[in-house]
Chain A
């Protein structure tokens, strides 16, 4: 697959999924603490999201960053727009802005402080990865 094809697939995944997270590893098995924390926040808001593991091919990250003009992973997109990485998502989670932006009610049992993610609690999620 050419770099351009990879970039087109990434762009398509971003426009096809209302909420999509590009991460290291998978929601069940995050391969990095920042990806794990971001997954944990989305899960505690009970919001469905697509996830793409960028690790299988270094070109996924390269093309994603070229497309988004954002150097680090994870990257969360909502309605085609980059919301940000783990730090921004954390800030928005704690202020309640994340729930508002995503159009969900914060569940009563969601922790006020951003969860750091415990693999034991991570429920299986639907993963869409057409880039592997």
Chain B
């Protein structure tokens, strides 16, 4: 089971300049607030895709749910 830190680190490593605040009550359900300059000019759907693509098949599996809020900086 991934920890909040692990999820945060993976997001920040995959998206240059990203800052992620990740919370999880149980290491299965996660919520992440991600701010990144890489989001600039992208639609919300595209921003969310960038983050969700990091986890691929883990979504719905080890990561049962990832609640996302994204923001361009």
Contacts and interface: CB of A to CB of B under 8 A. Distances in A.
A83 interface: yes
B52 A72 contact: yes
Contacts of B66: 72
A35 to B, nearest CB: 12
A71 B60 contact: yes
A87 B71 CA distance: 13
Contact of A84 (B48, B56, B59, B60): B48
B48 A88 contact: yes
A117 interface: no
A71 B44 contact: no
A71 B59 contact: yes
Interface in B43-73: 44-45, 48-49, 52, 56, 59-60, 65-69
Interface residues of B, number: 13
B45 A72 contact: no
B65 A70 contact: no
A85 interface: yes
Contact of B44 (A69, A72, A86, A88): A88
Q: Report which residue of B44, B60, B67 has the largest number of chain A beta carbons within 10 angstroms of its beta carbon.
A: B44
Interface string B25-57: 000000000000000000011001100100010
7 contacts: A70-B45, A72-B66, A84-B45, A85-B48, A87-B67, A87-B69, A91-B69
Interface of B: 44-45, 48-49, 52, 56, 59-60, 65-69
Q: 8 smallest A-B Cβ distances: which pairs?
A: A88-B44, A87-B68, A71-B59, A84-B45, A71-B52, A82-B45, A87-B67, A84-B44
Given A72-B65, A87-B69, 17 more contacts: A34-B65, A69-B49, A70-B49, A71-B52, A71-B56, A71-B59, A72-B52, A72-B66, A82-B45, A83-B45, A84-B44, A84-B45, A84-B48, A85-B48, A86-B67, A88-B48, A92-B44
